[in-house]
Amino acid sequence: MSTSLTSLLWVEACVKGGTLDFSAAGLKLSCTNIRDIASYLVAVRTVHVINLSNTPLDISAVQTLSEKVRSFPHLFHQLVLQNIRLTDEGGGVLASMLEQNYTLVRLDLSFNKINHSAMRFLAAVSSNSTLTHFNLSHNEIAASDRSSWERLLRSNTTLVRLDLSSNVLDYFACEEISRMRNESNSRVEIDLDRNWSYDNKAPDCSLALMVTGLLEHRFFVRIDFSGVASGAACWKLLGHKLKECAFVETVLFNKCLLRCDAVAVLADVLVHNRKITRIELRQNRFGDAGAQILCEAVRINTVLETLDLSCNYESWWGEENIRLWNAPVVWEKARSKEFPLSVVLANNGLGPDRDEYRKALEILGHVDSLSILDLHDQPVISRPFLDLLSPALKGNISIHTINMNGCMFEKSAMEKLVEILNENRSIVSLHLIGCNLLSEERGLLESIRRTSLKILR
């Protein structure tokens, strides 16, 4: 295999000891790049750990990589492919490669988008005789085919660790996998931690069955009940378990049609629970009475870091809805906190005529622990609103990120935003992804000469 000297030098620059590491290069690797890498490995024959993490690979590049592993198996002992944007299509290609491989001992595919192809990987590992460590954590794996698991646990004799943490396996799938592993006497350690615990299409009886097991297992730190309109009995049972639960950190109750009785249950959880750091209540319909109950609980809670009340302005459900008047209370509460607080106010129709926002912005200037101001998907960012925001930010040096993804800007609003960014040098990140900016607005942003400011758009 011939290649240019320039290509070899390009690859050699990323070699450290016996590892070829592209993870910090910030590159998008093409088929040609993969061929260059293989050429270098053939030339030196001293590198056996290949780390291509954080380098997006399209399907053609994945196919080329798979072909090179097949052609030169002795060159690949450890392959790290974290966050390469691998989907099920690419996963299927690598699973096919793994079936025929006899040299890889470690394969890391974490932080990708693998779902259904996970079962193909299990089938491949069943017949593989060298792989000892396989990492599929932080993917989108939800499937749990019993026969695939039985074949893996019965046939494979080399695998010692399989990491499936931080996927979307539900409670019952994790239970079944653990049971089969114990019954097979397999030596493989299967990590099922930090999975979601609930399929929101399940009936109330399944919800009740699931929450009764919350205190018996520590698989899950995040539970998602979004879209569930359950009965009062289930909410009470859930609240009782969550109050005592010491491992769930994130709870999602988005678009659940929550009313005062359910909010009272959640408020009781916030008063007693000392582990939940994030709670989402987007697109709900409890009125002022429910908001008051929640507000009092937030005052008492000492660990909550993120309260997401996005998409709750009145055009969603009408006048009888929480209007984020409790946001000032959350920020008041943050004054005495040592942890950074993120309050998400996205898509709530912010406007200078809203008294609750006037007070919120006044308090904002005195809160020293707020690090992220999330304003994404606002219907309109107006000049008067930014006029109110400006003095608040002048008095706050802790905010380092402003998220305005998907926002619409009124005429002259961008001028004020640029003025704010020039004055407040503690802000180092501005998110404008999905904003349909006019050419003059883009020109204003480009006029900012602060090298410390990163603008994502």
Window from 170-179, 413-422, 441-450 with minimum mean pLDDT? 170-179
Average pLDDT (142-154) is 81
Q: 47 and 165, same structural domain?
A: yes
Q: 250 and 130, same structural domain?
A: no
pLDDT given at position 214: 54
Q: 89 and 58, same structural domain?
A: yes
pLDDT digits (tens, 9 = 90+) for 25-51: 667 888 888 988 888 888 888 888 999
Q: 258 and 178, same structural domain?
A: no
Stated pTM of the model? 0.51
Confidence category of residue 209, pLDDT binned at 50, 70, 90: low
| Share above pLDDT 70 across residues of the chain, in percent, rounded to a whole number | 72
Q: Long-range contacts of range 16-21, CB-CB < 8 Å, 24 or more positions apart? A: 18/46, 18/47, 18/48, 18/49, 19/47, 19/49, 19/50, 19/51, 20/47, 20/49, 20/50, 20/51, 21/51
Contact 416, 388 (CB under 8 A): no
> Residue 329 falls within a domain, yes or no?
no
> Residue 331 falls within a domain, yes or no?
no
Q: 19 and 39, same structural domain?
A: yes
pLDDT given at position 231: 61
Which residues span the domain enclosing 452?
340-457
> Residue 213 falls within a domain, yes or no?
yes
Spatial distance between the Cα atoms of 334 and 327, rounded to a whole number of angstroms: 11
CATH label of the domain that carries residue 389: 3.80.10.10
Confidence category of residue 161, pLDDT binned at 50, 70, 90: very high
Q: 180 and 149, same structural domain?
A: yes
Last residue of a domain, one of 191, 220, 250: 191
pLDDT given at position 15: 85
Confidence category of residue 108, pLDDT binned at 50, 70, 90: very high
Q: 357 and 278, same structural domain?
A: no
Query: b or e along 325-350 (b: 16 or more beta carbons within 10 Å of the residue's beta carbon)?
Result: bbbbbbbbbbeebeebbbbbbbbbbb
> Residue 334 falls within a domain, yes or no?
no
Window from 67-71, 100-104, 369-373 with minimum mean pLDDT? 369-373
Whether the per-residue pLDDT at 439 is higher than 70: the answer is yes
Q: 313 and 345, same structural domain?
A: no
Q: 76 and 20, same structural domain?
A: yes
> Residue 332 falls within a domain, yes or no?
no
Task: Tell me the average pLDDT of the chain.
Answer: 76
Last residue of a domain, one of 191, 226, 248: 191
